[in-house]
Amino acid sequence: MKILVVGSGGREHAIIRKLKESPKVEKIYAAPGNGGISKDAECVDIGAMDKEKITAFAKENEVDIVFVAPDDPLADGMVDFLTENGIRAFGPKANAAIIESSKVFSKNLMKKYNIPTAEYEVFDDPAKAMEYIEAKNKYPVVIKADGLALGKGVIIAKDHDEARAAVKEIMEDKKFGESGNHVVVEEFLTGPEVSVLAFTDGIALKPMVSSKDHKRAYDNDEGLNTGGMGTISPNPYYTHKVAEICRKTIFEPTIAAMNSENRTFKGCLYFGLMITPDGPKVIEYNARFGDPETQVVLPRLKTDLVDIIEAVIDSRLSELDIEWINDATACVVMASGGYPLAYKKGIEITGLDENGQTEGAVVYHAGTKYQDGKFLTNGGRVLGITAGGKTLDEALEKAYSAVERISFEGAHYRRDIGKTK
Ligand code: AMP
Ligand code: GLY
C-alpha cells in the first residue's frame, strides 16, 4: 500500500515510523513533512491545508490511504474532500471535527448529553462576560476562545484584573482572530490530567493506552502553556477503575451524542480529562492524535496500524482486537530558545546521526529541516526524544541520557517529565 500522511510535526513522525513497521506498507509520503521525516518517508512539497493539491497528488500517485493528522485540515474538510474524490482517508469529516474546532459546540454537546465537564457559560459580548465573572466572583476562572488557537486560547485568570485582561485580549484585541468572537467562561477544576486517545468508527470505540502531557514551558509547571513539552505513558492516575468510569460516563456517551447529532465521528478522538474529586471530567476534545501524546502511545501499539486504519474507514472496528506492549514510554521535547513566544530558526543541531537519530532512544522530529547534510531547527518544538522501558523510571533515564547527547543553541527542555501531577 501507499500511504500519504498529512502534517509536519513529531506526531506525524511517530505515525510514519509506526506505519513503516507494517508489512503491508510499500511507500509512505508526507505532506509536507520535515527534516527528520524525510529519512523515513518521501516528503512532498504540499502544504497541510491544500486539499486540492493533496487530492491531486494522491490520485496521480495511486495513494491507497491519506492519513490527515492535524486539526486545521480536518476542521477545513480535507477528509470530506478526499472522500468525495474517491480517496480513502483516515480522520473525521468537518462536521465531526467541530468537536475540537469549536469549544462552544463541544461544551453545549456535553451539557445536552450529560457528559461530565466544567460548568460554563458562553458569551459573544465582552461586557456580558465580565458581568458574569464579577457576579460569580470565584477565582481562578478559566476563559477560552471558541476556535482553534494552537493550544494557546485558554487563559486561567487568578483575579478580576487578569480576567478583564483575558476577555479584552481574546474578544476585543482578537489575539486569536475570529476564534475570539465567542468565549467560554468556565469553572476552574483541579486534579491530575489524563490524555486518552481512542480509535472509533462511530460504532465501536477502542481506547488506546493512557498518557500524560506536560503543557507548561518550564519545570514545576511554570511558564506559559505550550503545545506540550513532554509525555509519559501509561498515566499513573488512570487506574482500571477510572478507565471504567470514563468509558461509561464519557467515551461511549460522546460517540452516541455525535451520532444523535448526525455528526458520526470516525478516526482518532482525543479525550483531555481531569480526574477531579467529583470524578473524571472532560477538559477538551481533540479530533485527532495528540502531540506529543502520539510519540509515547504509538510505540506501545502491537497491532498493525494499517489494519486499524482500514477497520475504522470500513466501519468494522468492533471485529478487531487491538494489542499493546506493557512497557512504559517517555518523551522529552527539546524546544527552541524563547518558545512558546518568538524563537530563531535555522540553528544547527548536533548529536544526531545521518538519519536524525541517536542510540538508545527514538528521535521524533517536530520542527527540523535537513540541509547540506545537517539538521537545522525549524520550529518551536524541535525534537521529541522518546524511549521505552520496563518501568517509567527506566524509560525516563534512557530518554534523558539521549537528550544530553543532543544540543543546539538556546535549546530548552523540562527536566521533570513524569515527575509532576
Ligand atoms: P485546553 O486547551 O482546553 O486543553 O486547555 C489547556 C489547559 O488549560 C488544560 O490542559 C488544563 O491544564 C487547563 N485547563 C483548561 N480548562 C480548565 C479548567 N476548567 N480547570 C482547570 N484547568 C483547565
Ligand atoms: N498535547 C495536546 C494536544 O495535542 O492538543
pLDDT, residue 235, reads 98
Question: 198 with 272, same domain?
Answer: yes
Q: What pLDDT digit, counting tens, does each position of 305-328 carry?
A: 999 999 999 999 999 999 999 999
Main-chain dihedrals φ then ψ at residue 177, nearest 5 degrees: 65, -145
Atom of ligand 2 nearest to the CA of 231: 1
Pocket of ligand 2 contains residue 151 by CB under 6 Å: yes
Q: What band does 33 get if pLDDT is binned at 50, 70 and 90?
A: very high
Asked if pLDDT for residue 338 goes beyond 80, the answer is: yes
Q: What is the model's pLDDT at position 367?
A: 98
Task: Compute, in angstroms, the gap from residue 270 CA to the centroid of ligand 2.
Answer: 9
The CB of 269 under 6 Å from ligand 1? The reply is: no
Whether 186 is in the pocket of ligand 1, judged by its Cβ within 6 Å, is yes
For residues 346-369, average pLDDT: 98
Does the CB atom of residue 157 touch ligand 1 within 6 A? Answer: no
Distance (Å, rounded) from C-alpha 318 to C-alpha 70?
25
Q: Is the CB of 421 under 6 A from ligand 1?
A: no
**Nearest residue by C-alpha to atom 10 in ligand 1:** 215
Closest C-alpha to 117, from 131, 99, 130: 99
| Amino acid occupying residue 92 | P
Ligand 1 site, residue 154, Cβ cutoff 6 A: yes
**Domain coverage including residue 340:** 328-403
- Counting from 1 in the atom list of ligand 1, the atom nearest the Cα of 284 is 3
Same structural domain for residues 365 and 344? yes
The string of pLDDT tens digits covering residues 172-187 is: 998 888 888 899 999 9
Average pLDDT over all residues of the chain: 96
CA 306 to chain centre: 20
Q: Is residue 262 part of a domain?
A: yes
313 and 356 housed in the same domain: no
100 burial level (CB within 10 Å; 0-12, 13-18, 19+): buried
Closest C-alpha residue for ligand 2 atom 4: 290
Tell me which of 140-154, 215-229, 331-345 is least confident.
140-154
Does residue 118 sit within a domain?
no
Taking each helix axis from N to C terminus, what angle separates 126-136 and 160-167, rounded to the nearest 10 degrees? 160
* Average confidence (pLDDT) over 361-383: 98
pLDDT confidence of residue 177: 81
CATH of residue 166? 3.30.1490.20
SS (H, E, C) the chain: CEEEEEECCHHHHHHHHHHHCCCCCCEEEEEECCCCHHHCCEECCCCCCCHHHHHHHHHHCCCCEEEECCHHHHHCCHHHHHHHCCCEEECCCHHHHHHHHCHHHHHHHHHHCCCCECCEEEECCHHHHHHHHHHHCCCCEEEEECCCCCCCCEEEECCHHHHHHHHHHHHHCCCCHHHHHCEEEEECCCCCEEEEEEEECCCCEEECCCEEECCEEEHHHEEEECCCCEEEECCCCCCHHHHHHHHHHHHHHHHHHHHHCCCCCCEEEEEEEEEECCEEEEEEEECCCCCCHHHHHHHHECCCHHHHHHHHHCCCHHHCCCCECCCEEEEEEEECCCCCCCCCCCCECECCCCCCCECCEEEEECCEEEECCEEEECCCEEEEEEEEECCHHHHHHHHHHHHHHCECCCCECCCCCCCCC
Query: What CATH number is associated with residue 71?
Result: 3.40.50.20
pLDDT score recorded for residue 150: 64
How many other CB atoms are found less than 10 A from the CB of residue 102? 19
CATH of the domain at 386: 3.90.600.10
For residue 21, the CA-to-ligand 1 centroid distance in Å is 35
For ligand 1, atom 14, name the residue with the nearest CA: 283
- Split into its structural domains, the chain has a count of 4
Residue 152 burial (C-beta neighbours within 10 Å; 0-12, 13-18, 19+): middle
pLDDT number for residue 179: 80
Atom of ligand 2 nearest to the CA of 289: 4
Which residue CA neighbors atom 18 of ligand 1 most closely?
188
Nearest atom within ligand 2 for CA of residue 292:
1
Contacts for 131 with CB less than 8 Å, ≥ 6 apart: none
Residue 358 forms part of a structural domain: yes
Q: Does residue 129 share a domain with residue 209?
A: no
Query: Does a structural domain hold residue 105?
Result: no
| 263-319 residue pLDDT tens | 999 999 999 999 999 999 999 999 999 999 999 999 999 999 999 999 999 999 999
Q: 117: CA distance to ligand 1 center in Å?
A: 11
Q: Tell me, yes or no, whether 390 lies in a domain.
A: yes
Helix, strand, coil percentages, rounded to 5, for the chain: 35, 30, 40
Ligand nearest to the CA of 230: 2
Which residue, among 160, 153, 215, 161, has the nearest Cα to 184 in the 3D structure? 153
Cell numbers of 384, please? Answer: 521529541
Substitution candidate for ligand 1 out of 188, 216, 274, 286 with most atoms within 8 A of CB: 274
Average pLDDT over residues 70-75: 97
Are 296 and 393 within one domain?
A: no
Which CATH number covers residue 212? Answer: 3.30.470.20
- How many residues are present in the chain? 421
In a domain, 391, yes or no: yes
Q: Closest residue (by CA) to atom 16 of ligand 1? A: 283
Provide the pLDDT for residue 148: 76
Report d(CA 183, CA 10) in Å as an integer.
Answer: 30
Q: Are residues 303 and 221 in the same domain?
A: yes
Do 199 and 313 fall within a single domain? Answer: yes
Q: Which atom of ligand 1 is found nearest the CA of 118? A: 19
On the question of pLDDT at 350 being above 80, the answer is: yes
Residues 76 and 13 in one domain: yes
Q: Looking at the CA of 69, name the nearest ligand.
A: 2
Residue 421 lies in a domain: no
- Tell me, yes or no, whether 84 and 129 share the same domain: no
> How high is the pLDDT of residue 151?
62
Using the mean position of ligand 2's atoms as its centre, give its distance from the Cα of residue 33 in Å: 18
Q: What is the pLDDT of residues 130-152, one digit of tens each?
A: 999 999 999 999 999 888 766 66
Residue with CA closest to ligand 2 atom 3: 290
Whether residue 288 sits in one domain with residue 211 = yes
% pLDDT > 70, the chain: 99
**In a shared domain, residues 208 and 251:** yes
- Other Cβ atoms less than 10 A from the Cβ of 162: the count is 16
**Does any domain span residue 101?**
no
CA of 156 to the centre of ligand 1 (A): 8
Same domain, 207 and 303: yes
Distance 263 CA to ligand 1 centre (A): 25
